[in-house]
């Protein structure tokens, strides 16, 4: 049996060989659909990060100080995690 040498991955080759009748809309490919969904997720993550930056600076400093103290409490080691 002779094996064909593909320029692309076999699934990409198979996708390229699909033809549609003129005027018939083609369904989005898996990669196009995936890309669109991933872009929506990325945009949501960007918006979340932006909302975190807009917080009160004083409140953020106080929260950081509290977290450092809480993480240094009840340590098994005598060394502090945050100097």
Domain boundaries, the chain: 28-72
pLDDT of residue 82 exceeding 90, the answer is no
User: What pLDDT does residue 40 have?
Assistant: 94
> Is residue 20 within 8 Å of residue 26, measured between CB atoms?
yes
User: What pLDDT does residue 31 have?
Assistant: 82
Comparing C-alpha atoms, which of 6, 64, 8, 14 is closest to residue 72?
A: 64
> Is residue 8 within 8 Å of residue 16, measured between CB atoms?
yes
The sign one gets for the Cα dihedral 17, 18, 22, 27 is negative
Q: Which pTM does this prediction carry?
A: 0.37
pLDDT in tens, 2-61: 666 656 555 655 555 555 566 666 666 678 888 889 999 999 999 998 888 887 888 888
């Amino acid at each position: 049996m002779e094996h064909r040498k593909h320029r692309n991955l076999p699934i990409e080759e198979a996708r390229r060989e699909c033809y549609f009748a003129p005027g018939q809309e083609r369904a989005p490919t898996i990669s196009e659909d995936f890309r669109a969904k991933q872009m929506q997720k990325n945009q949501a993550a960007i918006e979340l990060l932006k909302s975190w930056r807009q917080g009160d600076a004083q409140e953020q400093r106080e929260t950081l100080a509290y977290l450092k103290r809480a993480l240094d409490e009840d340590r098994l080691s005598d060394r502090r995690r945050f100097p």
